[in-house]
Amino acid sequence: MKDNSSLRRLANRVHVAIHDIQQAQKFAEIFKGLRSSPARLATNHADELDSALGMAAIVSYARPFNTSRSDGIADRYLKPSELQLFDGYPAHQAEHDQAILLRDQVVAHSDWAHRFSLEGVPDNFSESVRYLVVFDTKLLLANFHSFLDLTRHVEMRLVSLLMSLEREIREPPSPPASTS
């Protein structure tokens, strides 16, 4: 059993994580709305808008699972396996792993080998630039409904965890049983 300060740090991180996951959902829903909007067709920057929203959704989703500064007020990151976020949900675990991989190798670090390993390298520079924008969009939210299901699952599990943590923090520990 964790002490109260450890529980509070975890609760603080979970609270912020819920906000991050909800933000990822909002970006993904805006992405979906723009994809089907006639206004999208009226702009010359539709691919760039799609890419920006897709990247924002992935970054927001991955934030709780990557190390951050907390100054001791919150845990530095969440470990899905320790929190049992995906126990009994292997498809969500796979989607989570893919989202983290995309954040690490495509969005945050622009891993050339990862980007072009799936579809090949374009022939010239201008095609490469356009390809990267479109490729990010296709890759980041190619399966929009699965991504939204993942964020909803994680949000639900985190809200439940936060409620449990808050109860545990409020309730004083039970005295040890006496041995007579």
**Does a structural domain hold residue 84?**
no
pLDDT at position 160 is 97
pLDDT digits (tens, 9 = 90+) for 127-177: 444 445 444 545 555 677 888 999 999 999 999 999 999 999 988 666 667
The widest CA-to-CA distance across the chain, in whole angstroms, is 83
Does any domain span residue 179? no
* Cβ–Cβ under 8 Å, residues 92 and 153: yes
**Rounded Cα gap, residues 180 and 161, in angstroms:** 37
Host domain of residue 109: 4-76+89-169
Cα 173 to chain centroid distance, Å, stands at 34
Tell me the pLDDT tens digit for each residue of 38-56: 666 566 777 777 778 888 8
How many domains does the structure of the chain reveal?
Answer: 1
Question: Does some domain include residue 81?
Answer: no
Three-state DSSP class for residue 110: coil
Residues 38, 59: Cα–Cα separation, whole Å: 27
Let me know if residue 143 belongs to a domain.
yes
Evaluate whether residue 125 is within a structural domain.
yes
Name the pTM for this structure: 0.78
* Residue 177 located in a structural domain: no
